[in-house]
Amino acid sequence: IPPHLRNREASKQGFDSGGWSSRRDKDAYSSFGARSDRDSKSSFFDRGTGSRGGRYEERGRGGDYDRSGFGRFDRGGGNSRWCDKSDEDDWSKPLPPSERLEQELFSGSNTGINFEKYDDIPVEATGSNCPPHIESFSDVDMGEIIMGNIELTRYTRPTPVQKHAIPIIKEKRDLMACAQTGSGKTAAFLLPILSQIYADGPGDALRAMKENGRYGRRKQYPISLVLAPTRELAVQIYEEARKFAYRSRVRPCVVYGGADIGQQIRDLERGCHLLVATPGRLVDMMERGKIGLDFCKYLVLDEADRMLDMGFEPQIRRIVEQDTMPPKGVRHTMMFSATFPKEIQMLARDFLDEYIFLAVGRVGSTSENITQKVVWVEEPDKRSFLLDLLNATGKDSLTLVFVETKKGADALEDFLYHEGYACTSIHGDRSQRDREEALHQFRSGKSPILVATAVAARGLDISNVKHVINFDLPSDIEEYVHRIGRTGRVGNLGLATSFFNERNINITKDLLDLLVEAKQEVPSWLENMAYEQHHKGGGSRGRSKRCKSLELIKRHFLLPFIGGGYGGFYNSDGYGGNYNSQGVDWWGN
């Protein structure tokens, strides 16, 4: 029995009592900020206190660990670090502020989440002894540094995934969380992990680093590792980590493929307590002896489904299971994924210990937020059809165009460019610099049209996309759901248009189901095609794997928590078994 279905009764009660009543919401929000965090706030924002002023910046330049008095940890082993506790050794105390850094980290605009929509998202936690969720950041003690940085980021209250994940992680429970992109997963894991690192101090990791420093090998032993599928996503997580590590002694680093490894190594050598990495590059770093995971207490797999789709499973297993990483149960592991197919369930079984399963529904519903249109367009007509769509789109709204191949992306970008459209593209063959530049051009609105392959766009926080165009439809419905999720995010309305022709026959049935489910207009030709396919035979020959994950997507994104309806994804015998419409359903009803 999967851990999150064990003690079902207990966890159900937990959920009910910590449930979704609007009264609780109101109470919690009205008390937000009225607590004692005022006190810590005043000291946090008290600039230039103490005689250590300025050292923060010094340290920012790196290489001066010893100067900050950390050497003292060396004297005792293990836990005795607190024996010699002075203000300087205490990682929970904020370092002096730096106006320059503050400006750099926090001056960017906030996306402005529409919490009115967010608050309605259903969330369910299953698993034994699940800690109750919080309603405001001040409901849980994350320490002075974190609270100060939350204030600086101007996050006024937690998103649903944060409300649930933060206390779960704070209590050191392993977590498997299914939530859509844009729901605030990054802070959901960074805040509790960093707050614990601040509270506990560096422990053995620091000693190990100093030990091996004596032998001239500058291997780093990060306390926390975050694995992410793409360079862009890794950089985003890193940027977020820098914000929440402001005024702390934690130094975040990021490593990813396609960029100069020498530069990344030099950066690591300046100290690395929290590492964000793509799996391939991390394996490389480990093999070069630059990173040791021996003291990695917190492991996060972000966008786990995408990492597997990209073929990273061997590298992930190498990192987690075949090296020096502490075993599950010793380390604390969190997995995040948009979907929960069989491969992810297997990974969860292997990596997580007595985990809590968190399912977070969609912002509103697809039907509410995203208008989905499917149009029949023959291959040769696609370009002119696209121009019509682009001309009908407002000048300053962002349009994301998905194509299937890298070559297709280049060709379409060239075409649009010659037609006089400000556009850019992003795909796996682009150099790192080109990709970052393209993304910047798009986000800033300089190039309001971005042509992308699915892999390159995964996990990116591209907000305010008004229109997603599937110039080429993907071959599976999961990918379709991911793509259209780029629009209608954070409570905004969005439009998704897909070009359909003979090449996309394989997605007919799933697409039709999805449109019906989301109460979208269904073209009659699509219905006819699905009907014909069904009657050509094969339609009722058992459910495919894809159908199974479609059930799951609907469950998570479209019809969360509406009882009945769907049969059990789970068998009582555990992971990923057969699809069994008679069995226990997802929520154990």
Binding site for Mg ion (CB under 5 A): 185-186
The sheet with strand 224-227 has its strands ordered as 123-126, 356-360, 175-178, 332-337, 298-301, 224-227, 274-277, 252-255
The smaller minimum CB distance to Mg ion, of residues 233 and 319, is found at 233
Determine the Cα–Cα distance for residues 402 and 372; give it in Å rounded to an integer: 15
Cβ of residue 279: shortest distance to Mg ion, in angstroms?
16
- The maximal CA–CA distance of the chain, rounded, in angstroms, is 81
- Those residues whose C-beta lies under 8 Å from the C-beta of residue 20, and which sit 6 or more positions away, are 122, 123
Judged by CB under 6 A, which stretch of 174-182, 364-372, 423-431, 525-533 contacts ligand ADP? 174-182
The smaller minimum CB distance to ligand ADP, of residues 247 and 458, is found at 458
Determine the Cα–Cα distance for residues 371 and 493; give it in Å rounded to an integer: 8
The smaller minimum CB distance to ligand ADP, of residues 181 and 195, is found at 181
Q: What is the DSSP string of 55-104?
A: HHHHHHT---TGGGTGGGGGSS-GGGGGGG--GGG-TTSPPPP-HHHHHH
Task: Please report whether residue 182 would count as binding ligand ADP according to CB under 6 A.
Answer: yes
- CA distance readout (Å), 554 to 210, 481, 515, 586: 51, 10, 11, 12
Residue 248 interacts, among Mg ion, ligand ADP, none and using kind-specific CB cut-offs from 5 to 8 Å, with: none
Q: Cα-Cα-Cα-Cα dihedral of 555, 560, 563, 568, to 10°?
A: 20
Determine the Cα–Cα distance for residues 521 and 579; give it in Å rounded to an integer: 29
The sheet with strand 465-470 has its strands ordered as 370-376, 494-500, 465-470, 398-403, 449-453, 423-426
Task: Please report whether residue 184 would count as binding ligand ADP according to CB under 6 A.
Answer: yes
The smaller minimum CB distance to Mg ion, of residues 186 and 220, is found at 186
Task: Please report whether residue 110 would count as binding ligand ADP according to CB under 6 A.
Answer: yes
Determine the Cα–Cα distance for residues 145 and 270; give it in Å rounded to an integer: 22
Return the bridge partners of 425, or none. 451
Cβ of residue 158: shortest distance to ligand ADP, in angstroms?
5
Q: Is the dihedral of CA 62, 68, 70, 72 positive or negative?
A: positive
The smaller minimum CB distance to Mg ion, of residues 181 and 447, is found at 181
Task: Please report whether residue 337 would count as binding ligand ADP according to CB under 6 A.
Answer: no
- Those residues whose C-beta lies under 8 Å from the C-beta of residue 578, and which sit 6 or more positions away, are 571
Task: Please report whether residue 2 would count as binding ligand ADP according to CB under 6 A.
Answer: no
Task: Please report whether residue 232 would count as binding ligand ADP according to CB under 6 A.
Answer: no
Judged by CB under 6 A, which stretch of 16-24, 177-185, 318-326, 515-523 contacts ligand ADP? 177-185
The smaller minimum CB distance to Mg ion, of residues 237 and 426, is found at 237
Task: Please report whether residue 113 would count as binding ligand ADP according to CB under 6 A.
Answer: yes
Cβ of residue 459: shortest distance to Mg ion, in angstroms?
6
Taking each helix axis as running N to C, give the angle between helix 406-418 and helix 382-392, from 0 to 180 degrees, rounded to the nearest 10. 60
The smaller minimum CB distance to Mg ion, of residues 178 and 386, is found at 178
Residue 90: count of CB within 10 angstroms of its CB: 13
Residue 111 interacts, among ligand ADP, Mg ion, none and using kind-specific CB cut-offs from 5 to 8 Å, with: ligand ADP
The smaller minimum CB distance to ligand ADP, of residues 179 and 194, is found at 179
Residue 307 interacts, among Mg ion, ligand ADP, none and using kind-specific CB cut-offs from 5 to 8 Å, with: none
Spatial contact of 366 and 518, defined as CB atoms under 8 Å apart? yes
Determine the Cα–Cα distance for residues 47 and 95; give it in Å rounded to an integer: 10
Task: Please report whether residue 186 would count as binding ligand ADP according to CB under 6 A.
Answer: yes
Tell me which of 187, 389, 400, 403 binds ligand ADP, using CB under 6 A: 187
Judged by CB under 6 A, which stretch of 27-35, 72-80, 106-114, 200-208 contacts ligand ADP? 106-114
Residue 268: count of CB within 10 angstroms of its CB: 21
Judged by CB under 6 A, which stretch of 151-159, 270-278, 398-406, 547-555 contacts ligand ADP? 151-159
Task: Please report whether residue 108 would count as binding ligand ADP according to CB under 6 A.
Answer: no
The smaller minimum CB distance to Mg ion, of residues 187 and 386, is found at 187
Determine the Cα–Cα distance for residues 161 and 178; give it in Å rounded to an integer: 9
Tell me which of 461, 478, 513, 551 binds ligand ADP, using CB under 6 A: 461
Task: Please report whether residue 131 would count as binding ligand ADP according to CB under 6 A.
Answer: no
Residues of this chain, 153-172, that bind ligand ADP according to CB under 6 A:
155, 158-159, 162
Task: Please report whether residue 136 would count as binding ligand ADP according to CB under 6 A.
Answer: no
Cβ of residue 505: shortest distance to ligand ADP, in angstroms?
32
R_g over Cα of the chain: 25
Judged by CB under 6 A, which stretch of 71-79, 167-175, 182-190, 345-353 contacts ligand ADP? 182-190
Determine the Cα–Cα distance for residues 223 and 194; give it in Å rounded to an integer: 10
Residue 299 interacts, among ligand ADP, Mg ion, none and using kind-specific CB cut-offs from 5 to 8 Å, with: none
- CA distance readout (Å), 165 to 125, 185, 366, 487: 9, 9, 24, 25
The smaller minimum CB distance to ligand ADP, of residues 185 and 362, is found at 185
The smaller minimum CB distance to ligand ADP, of residues 201 and 494, is found at 494
- Those residues whose C-beta lies under 8 Å from the C-beta of residue 196, and which sit 6 or more positions away, are 170, 172, 298
Binding region for ligand ADP (CB under 6 A) = 110-111, 113, 155, 158-159, 162, 179, 181-187, 461
